[in-house]
Amino acid sequence: MRLDPQRTLLALGCRVAAARGLADGILGHLSLRVGEDQLLIRCRSDTDTGLAFTRPSDIRLIGLDGTASAAGELDGYRVPNELPIHVETMLADPRRRAVAHLHPPAVVAADLAGIEFRPIYGAYDIPGAVLARGGVPVFERAVLIRSSQLGRDMVAAMGSAPVVICRGHGITSAAGSVQQAVLHAISLDSLARMSLQVMAAGGALREIAETDWNELPDLGSDFNIEAAWRHEVARLGTQLS
């Protein structure tokens, strides 16, 4: 099972996340469920040069138990230590087919500063405002999530939200597609940056008026996902190899 288009998509997702400053160095990993008991995931090798330089060949097919799903899939590669993040998030909700675990500094800093993520803006980023309106849960343990139990604990904190902040660690974003999982993470990072800027300027974080929601329509996936994703890929300015 080659799954070349899916491997390329995940590699692009890794590069987009790194280009947006959502992960540094070799930190972070993305995955995509491709069967009942299989997923593609960004793995590491002894020649790894970091998330920003992810190649389709770095995306490997494994089972939910972390073993190779085909001959040669893990030759020279290792699954992430935090594989339980991906497996437990997917098992908790079959609609979560893509998972992004990233380390955006602004989100970590804002959470550590005690900032509660709320919709402080509207048309500036409607998907981000909607994300914040539902509340952004926090998993309060600053640990590597290396066991199934810790993965389930994180998922319990996440609830039905599309993203969860892992305090002192990073975030996990889950969606039906790689594009949406990464775009959720970008929106959360933008909200964190804006919140920190407002606080640094001596301002207060105030939610938009309830009546404003009537004028913040859902512009649809053609705009919110497809068009946004084309931009993210185009701004990389590089070709996968």
Q: What is the pLDDT of residue 9?
A: 98
Task: Please tell me the predicted confidence (pLDDT) of residue 25.
Answer: 86
- pTM, full prediction: 0.95
pLDDT score at 188: 98
pLDDT given for residue 118 in this prediction: 95
Catalytic residue, chosen from 82, 140, 207, 232, is 82
**What pLDDT score was predicted for residue 24?**
86
Told to judge if 82 belongs to the known catalytic residues of this protein, a careful annotator would answer yes
DSSP assignment string, the chain:
---HHHHHHHHHHHHHHHHTTSS-TT--EEEEEEETTEEEEE-B-TT---GGG--GGGEEEEETTSSBSSTTTTTT-B--TTHHHHHHHHHH-TT--EEEEE--HHHHHHHHTT-------STTSHHHHHHHHT---EE---S---SHHHHHHHHHHHTT-SEEEETTTEEEEEESSHHHHHHHHHHHHHHHHHHHHHHHTT----PPPGGGGGG-----HIIIIIIHHHHHHHTT-----
Every domain of the chain and the residues it spans = 3-239
Q: What is the pLDDT of residue 223?
A: 75
Q: Which CATH superfamily is domain 3-239 in?
A: Class II aldolase/adducin N-terminal domain (3.40.225.10)
Tell me what pLDDT residue 69 has. 95
Quote the pLDDT of residue 226: 93
pLDDT on residue 37: 95
Q: What is the mean pLDDT of each run of 10 residues along the chain (241 residues)?
A: 92 97 93 96 95 97 97 96 98 97 98 97 95 96 97 98 98 98 98 97 96 90 86 82 52
